[in-house]
Amino acid sequence: MATGTPKKRVLSPLPLLDEAQVLRVCAREGIKTHNAYKMWRGLIKDGHPTVRDVPGLPKALYDVIENEFALTTSTVVKQSASKDGSTTKMLVKLQDGNMVESVIMRYGTVQFSSYLDDKGLEVEEDPTFKSKPRATLCISSQIGCAMGCTFCATGTMGLVGHLCSGEILEQLYHANQITPIQNVVFMGMGEPLDNYHEMLSAIHGMTDVQRWSMKYTSVSVSTVGVVPRLMQLARDAPKVNLALSLHAPNQDLRIQLVPSAKAWHIDKIMEALDEFIYRQNLEQARMRTVLIEYVLIAGVNDSEETAHELGALLKNRAIVLNVIPYNPTAVPHDYKSPTPETTHAFNAIVRKYDVKTIQRQELGQDIASACGQLVISNLAGEGGSMGTGGCATEPADMEELVPGPVPAMSLGKPRKRANGKKANKSASNTAATAKSGVTKSKEVATASIFNPLRVAVLIVILGFLFLAARKISSSGADADPLSSWFN
C-alpha cells in the first residue's frame, strides 16, 4: 500500500482537455482565451479528430498545441463487458504508466430490491421502473485512495497520485467513443474532495456549453465526508448531486470502517451535510435530496440496534438512504454479505423513523465493477491487467433514483450542535423550522412570479384590455366588441 504524500506527477505532453494548462499557455503566448473554447467545441461537440481540423484558429494556437499538448494523454488498454451488456469497465493507462478504472453503466429499467410506495407501504414484489435509456460514467479522480475504507478494494492501494482535471475529463472523452454519456458520478477510484480543485475544474468542463454541456444535476459527487471541502462544495457547486458514504451511525463504528473518520467527527460531517442541503435548496421550488450510501456488512453494521441509531440520526433530513449489501472483494478482512432477511429487517427499522430507503440492483458484479470493488492490481511497470475494479451504485438523477414523493423536509437553517452532540429539538422547534421552510418556498415562488419578463407581459395585456374597453365604450353598448376593435 502506498502511504504518505504522493509524489507530484509531471506530465509531458500536457492534456489538451485541461482548462487551466491551456489557458496558462494562451496567456503566455498572447492568444485570446475565446480561441481555446472554440477549439474545445470543435474537438468535443463537432467531432474534429485533431486541432488542425478545427477551422478558424490562430496559427500560434495550432503550433503551441501541437508542440506541448495531446488530445488524450491516456489510452484505454482493456475493456470488460458484463454478460447482460449493462456495464462496460475501462482500464485506462496514464502516460506515466499508472492505471485507473472507469465504468459505463447503462440504465433504462431500474429494479429495486426494497422500496416503499406512495403511501409508505413496502412493495412486496421487486418493483421495476422504466425510464429513458441513458448511460452513466463512474469516473476516477485519483490513483488509489487515502481514505482506507476497510471494505473497499481501492482503499487497499493507498494514495498513489492525483489526477489532473484533463485526465479526469479524458475518461469522459474515452467513454463517449463507446456510447453517449448522459450522467457522470465521481464514484470511481479516489476521494474526489481530496483532489478538490481538479475535480471542480473537471465539473466545470463537463457543464461548460462549449464542451459537454451537461447539467450540474447530471453530475454526482460521492465523498466519505472531507468536512472543509464539503463546506466549500456547498458554496462552489451546490447544484451537483451529493452522495455521502456514511456506513455507520456513530463515531466509534465509523472509525472501524472508515479510518479517515478520525479526522472528521460524524457530528461535524452531519453539520456539513445540513449546510449543503440548505444551500442546495435555497433557490429550488422542488425539494432536492442527498443520497446516503450505507454498505451493509454482516455482523458489523447490520444489527437492529444500529438500524435504530441510524434512523434517529437521519430523521427529518432531506436524504434518501441507499442500502448496499456488501460485495465480496479483495480486502484483508473476513467481511460477508448480510442475508436478504437481515437486509429487509434493517430497511424496515430505519423506515420507522420516516427515512426513505432504497435498495437498487447492482450492475457489473460479474466483471467486478460493483460497489467497493475498484482496484488496480498492477500499477506502473507491472503490466496492466484488470484488477478487481468496480463502482458504487449510481445516483445519477435524483428524480429517477427516487420515484414517488420524498417525506416533507425542512428548508430551514442548518442544525446547530451543542457540546459535540446533536441538540435535542422540541416539537415546537420542529414545527417552527418546517414553517420557515414553507415560508422560504413561498418566497422563491413569489420571486419567480414577479420576474421582469412576466411583469412586462402583464403590462402589455393590461394595456390591450384598456384600449379594447375604450374602443367598445366609444362604439356604443350594442356594438359587437370584436368587430368594433378590428374595423
Predicted confidence (pLDDT) per residue in 54-79, tens digit: 999 999 999 999 999 999 999 999 99
In sequence order, which residues have a C-beta less than 8 Å from that of residue 333 and are 6 or more positions away? Answer: 150, 151
Q: What is the pLDDT of residues 229-279, one digit of tens each?
A: 999 999 999 999 999 999 999 999 999 999 999 999 999 999 999 999 999
Q: Which residue has better confidence, 420 or 411?
A: 411
Place 415 in a pLDDT band, splitting at 50, 70 and 90.
Answer: low
Of the pLDDT bands very low, low, confident and very high (cuts 50, 70, 90), residue 121 is low
Query: Would you say residue 129 has pLDDT above 90?
Result: no
Given the residues 19, 101, 198, 271, select the one marked as catalytic.
101
**Residue pLDDT, tens place only, 436-487:** 443 444 444 444 444 566 667 777 777 777 776 666 555 544 433 333 333 3
Q: Alpha-carbon distance 338 to 188, whole Å?
A: 24
Q: Which of 144-153, 339-348, 391-400 has the lowest mean pLDDT?
A: 391-400
Cell 482503499 sits on residue: 155
Contact predicate 391/88, CB 8 Å: no
Distance CA 24, CA 33 (A): 9
In angstroms, the CA 309 to CA 32 distance is: 57
Q: How confident is the model at residue 204 (pLDDT cuts 50, 70, 90)?
A: very high
Instruction: Kindly give the interhelix angle for 165-178 and 19-29, rounded to the nearest 10 degrees.
Output: 120
DSSP 224-272: S--HHHHHHHHHH-TTSEEEEE---SSHHHHHHH-GGGGTS-HHHHHHH
The pLDDT value given to residue 91: 96
What pLDDT is recorded for position 191?
96
Kindly tell me if the per-residue pLDDT of 13 is higher than 70.
yes
CA 223 to CA 360: how far, in whole Å?
Answer: 19
Query: What would the grid cell of residue 386 be?
Result: 484488470
Q: Write down the pLDDT at residue 128.
A: 57
**Confidence bin at 395 (pLDDT 50/70/90):** very low
- Contact in structure between 57 and 39 (CB atoms under 8 Å): yes
Q: What is the tens place of the pLDDT at every residue in 173-188?
A: 999 999 999 999 999 9
Confidence of residue 51 (pLDDT cuts 50, 70, 90): very high
Quote the mean pLDDT of the chain.
80
Model confidence at 332, pLDDT cuts 50, 70, 90, reads: low
Which pLDDT score, from 0 to 100, does residue 297 have? 96
User: How far is Cα 340 from Cα 321, in angstroms, rounded to an integer?
Assistant: 17
Q: For residues 405 and 356, what is the distance between their CA atoms, to the nearest angstrom?
A: 10
**pLDDT confidence of residue 251:** 98
The larger pLDDT score, comparing residue 455 to residue 40, is at 40
**pLDDT score for 107:** 81
Find out whether 31 and 24 touch, Cβ atoms under 8 Å.
no
Q: Assess whether pLDDT exceeds 50 at residue 390.
A: no
Is 371 marked active-site? yes
Given 145, 149, 164, 371, the catalytic residue: 371
What is the reported pLDDT for 109?
A: 56
Torsion of CA 260, 265, 266, 267, to 10 degrees: -160
